[in-house]
Amino acid sequence: MRKLFFTLLIIVGFLLSVEVLLRYVFGFCDALLYQHSDSYEYIAQPNQERYRFGAHSRYNAYSQRNDSNPDSTKVRVLGLGDSVIFGGTMIDQDSIATTLFSKETGMQMLNISAGSWGPDNCAAYLKEKGTFGASAMVLVCSSHDARDIMSHIAVVGKYPNYPVRQYKMAVWELMDRYLLPCIKGYFIQDIPRLDPDKVIVEHIENASVAPKSMMFNPGFYKLKTIADSVAIPFYIYLHAEQGEVYRGEYNEMGKQIISWAQEAGVSCYTGLAMGETVDMYRDVIHLNEKGQRHLSECLKKIIVINHINELRYSNQKFRTIGMSFLLYYANGVNALIFIYITL
């Protein structure tokens, strides 16, 4: 009996040690939580601060990956996109491109994104929430976004990577979210995959990225319409997939995005032209910390330079108006003097 007691004590002690290790070292039971949306499919729940696998993730009241809410005292820029600009929970908040951009420019780039989002998701979010007084918006997209149209298939609470609540025990999360799916995947083929971001990664790895639709994503046009409605510039940064970096050119869907931008009069900056290299990736599409740093530099070149040019244009326009007013005023004074003399 005593031997059984000590055996149980050892097992319980071991499980408690594992529980503590998983929780406080690896961040189990502290996953990023999601919520469903009828408009834009899904998004991170608001007002979250998570620490998982050595990386922090913080979300404001508008489900944006930012440390604070939109700040009216700063120039705001909308950073829109999918898991590339989102950064993923494996990249620390301080290392993602939008955070680096905000710290180094003094502006505030609002990170409005989620894994596998497309332009139509972003447009639906802005239609619901507004543009937060932004001075510009930039969409970070990839070639597959040309036809990656919202399907509204429910994923929140259906797939482990989109949890709606925390697990009660870290050991059970380890089993349910990681170990059991691996075991099932080994013994059972063709298990349905609901995680849209993983599906895209696997398709790219297998060189089989097929468009979800034959129609060009309407979100591109909708974003331009939203930008035009509030009179702010809209830019596109076309992030290259790793295979496109190797080939030195975009696939047909990427070329379609470039053609649309040219026809629509939207400035489109390409990752290939701006120096993306294969060592900036942590898989076939997502960026590592070096890639996030490079993306922030590209965003600075796009936004800051154009913003400065816009200010120069505004100042020149102001000076022109001012000179016209002074000339008009001077001519009026001269006319009054002439009338006074002649009288």
What pLDDT sits at residue 217?
Answer: 97
Hey, where are the domains in the chain?
1-29+162-189, 31-159+194-310
Enumerate residues 6+ apart whose C-beta is below 8 A from 327: none
Work out the number of other CB atoms within 10 angstroms of the CB of residue 257.
27
In this predicted structure, what is the pLDDT of residue 202? 60
Number of neighbours of residue 284 by Cβ within 10 angstroms: 18
Q: What is the pLDDT of residues 281-295, one digit of tens each?
A: 999 999 999 999 999
- Taking the CA of residue 154 as centre, how many other CA atoms within 13 Å lie in the half-sphere pointing to its CB? 4
How many CA atoms lie less than 13 Å away from 211 in the CB half-sphere?
15
Instruction: Specify whether the CB–CB gap between 265 and 166 falls below 8 A.
Output: no
Both structure tokens of 127: 């239609």
Name the residue among 237, 242, 248, 238 with its Cα closest to residue 288: 242
pLDDT at 199: 61
Residue 271 confidence (pLDDT): 97
Q: Give the per-residue pLDDT at 319.
A: 46
As a CATH number, domain 31-159+194-310 is: 3.40.50.1110
| pLDDT number for residue 291 | 98
Distances, alpha carbon 215 to alpha carbons 113, 122, 125, 266, in Å: 22, 17, 21, 20
CA distance 94 to 88: 12
Contact (Cβ atoms closer than 8 angstroms) between residue 125 and residue 112 = yes
Residue whose tokens read 């097929």: 210
For residue 93, give the nearest of 45, 58, 60 by alpha carbon: 58
d(CA 253, CA 119): 14
The reported pLDDT for the residue numbered 181 is 83
Mark the ranges of the chain whose per-residue pLDDT is less than 70: 189-213, 307-343
> What pLDDT, on the 0 to 100 scale, is given for residue 1?
74
Give the list of residues 6+ apart from residue 213 with CB closer than 8 angstroms, or none. Answer: 147, 149
pTM, 2 dp: 0.84
Please give the pLDDT value at position 313. Answer: 44
pLDDT tens, residue by residue, 87-124: 998 899 999 999 999 999 999 999 999 999 999 999 99
Residue 307, H or E segment: helix 289-342
Distance CA 92, CA 139 (A): 21
DSSP state for residue 280 in the 8-state scheme: G
Per DSSP, 75 falls in state: -
Report pLDDT for 205.
55
Give the SS3 label for residue 12: helix
